Each structure stands twice: as structure tokens, then as C-alpha cells.
Amino acid sequence: MNGAHNILSGPAAVIHARISRVHGSSPRETGAEMFITAQGMAGTIGGGQAEWQALARARDMLAKGTLRDTLDIALGPEIGQCCGGRILIELVRLGDSARAAHLARLQGAVRPHVLILGAGHVGRALARIMITLPCRTLLIDTRAAELRQAPDGVETCLTPLPEAEIATTPPASAFIVATHDHGLDFLLTLAALRRKDAAYVGLIGSATKRARFDRFARDHGTGTDTAALICPIGAAGLGDKRPEVIALMTAQEVISALGRATPAQAGACAVSS
């Protein structure tokens, strides 16, 4: 959960807000959670007025020193929401041991891996989006100068052998190939497809580049199936070639693919909130 580590490891008192029961339609499921301090928050229980009520109650608890409370909220017109269901929210002020336990739980949660191979304009734009999502994102390049331009907070890897990173990534990972060299693109894409356990393999380019890659794979891939390859990436209708737009469309493809990963692929790599 983005930001929760900083909140739980910081000095401020923390309220843990969690949906403990859902009846009918709700924007979030049982177990959805937030961590709230007097000045900050991480996570979401669905937004809207229900979340604002939980946020206000948590900060009231912090001001008054209350240790535990509940909110029973009908998600109807009276609070400006139209879900029609009902949720019960439990709010608990965390002591030291509970904070440590939540921190360990979140740190131990296995997130799907997303490898962005190529730190050019599209790779950096995609990394900027992916680090806000429940994934472990790694931006890889052979060029130190490009990696130095990576967005703040992005995990980077400078290596002369990016294919080695592909080989050691867990099952059900996503691979987006967008390097500065078409030959390298083809080698890395083939390496990702040969794994046969990727949730997503995408290659930047065009329909022409896709046809050329298919020929390359037939000549060098020893029977590698290329049907699962997404090329061009981020091409779901707009035809817009700006890096930021390609990145946004590609991120949507990747998250959808990670959500569809089969149990055999995903193993323990379920998306964690």
C-alpha cells in the first residue's frame, strides 16, 4: 500500500480503519483499509463521503485519545452516495506492537513484478505511473545517463545484460520492452516469451515491427509462441504517440493482465492492497 510504510514507521499516532462487514453494494470489499494520522493518510476504503466520515472520526479519535470506535454507514442518498449497501468500519488506534505487525505484514506482501526494459521517454513515463500501483516496478537500462532521469522513487537497474533480469523475475510478472535498439528489443522480448509464465509481455512499436518480430522469432525462437505478445503496446484505440499517453494506456493493459493471471501463473503473486 503506497505511503503506509512511511506512516507506520513515522512518529505520529496512527488510526487503522478497516471495513469489517459489507452488506449489499459497496465501493470496496471487506478488509479494505486505511492508515490515518492527524496530517496524513494511506490507502482507501472507497472514497466519497463514507471515507471522509471515517477520516474525520479517526482524527477525532486522535484528538481525544480514543482507542477504538466503529462506524456503521448506509451508502445511500443521505450521505451523497448511491451504492445502496451498508458497511461497518472498525477504527483502532495502533500501539507499538500493532504498528510493527502491520508494517511487517505490508512489507511481506508479495506484489507482482513489472519490468520496464528501456529508460527512454516511454519507459520513464510508464515507471512514473506504475510506482503508484500495487506492483514492484523495476526500470532497467544499459545506459546510466537514461536511468539518472528516472522519476523519484522508481527502482532502477543498470546492467549490460538485461536478459538476466528477465530470467530471475518471479512467475506471473509483466515485461514491457521499450529500449533504444530494435535488435535488443527483439532479444529481450523473445527471452520474456520463452519463460511461458509471464502475465504480460509487451513490445513498443508498430504493426510492422510486430511482423518483423514474428519473423525473428520463427528464425531464432526455436518454436516460441508469439501469440501472447502485445505489440504495439498502449494501442487500444487512440493512436496517440505521446509517451505519456502510451504509458497510460500500457499501464491499463498491464494491470488488466496481472488481474487475469491464472492461479498457476500467479502462485503467491496476488495483487495486494
Residue 229: pLDDT band by 50, 70, 90 thresholds?
very high
Measure the CA–CA gap between 177 and 201, rounded to whole angstroms: 8
Measure the CA–CA gap between 226 and 202, rounded to whole angstroms: 11
- Interval 236-265 mean pLDDT: 83
State the burial class of residue 140 (Cβ atoms within 10 Å of its Cβ: 0-12, 13-18, 19+): buried
> What pTM was estimated for this model as a whole?
0.70
Measure the CA–CA gap between 256 and 207, rounded to whole angstroms: 22
Residue 265 has pLDDT above 50, yes or no: no
Q: Give residue-wise pLDDT tens across range 63-103.
A: 999 999 999 998 766 555 556 688 999 999 999 999 999 98
Question: What local confidence, expressed as pLDDT, does residue 271 receive?
Answer: 32
Question: What local confidence, expressed as pLDDT, does residue 220 receive?
Answer: 86
Buried b (16+ CB within 10 A) or exposed e, 186-218: bbbbbbbbbeebbbbbbbbbeeebeeebeebbe
Q: Give residue-wise pLDDT tens across range 112-161.
A: 999 999 999 999 999 999 998 889 999 999 999 999 999 998 999 999 99
Q: What are 201's three cell numbers? A: 509481455
| 3-state DSSP assignment of residue 54 | helix
Question: What is the CB neighbour count within 10 angstroms for residue 11?
Answer: 5
Q: Give residue-wise pLDDT tens across range 5-58.
A: 889 989 999 999 999 999 888 888 999 999 999 999 999 998 888 899 999 999
Question: What local confidence, expressed as pLDDT, does residue 45 receive?
Answer: 92
Q: Angle formed by the axes of helices 121-130 and 243-260, to 10°? A: 50
Question: What local confidence, expressed as pLDDT, does residue 139 receive?
Answer: 97
Measure the CA–CA gap between 98 and 149, rounded to whole angstroms: 38
Residue 185 gets the label, from left (phi > 0), alpha (psi -120 to 50) or beta, of alpha
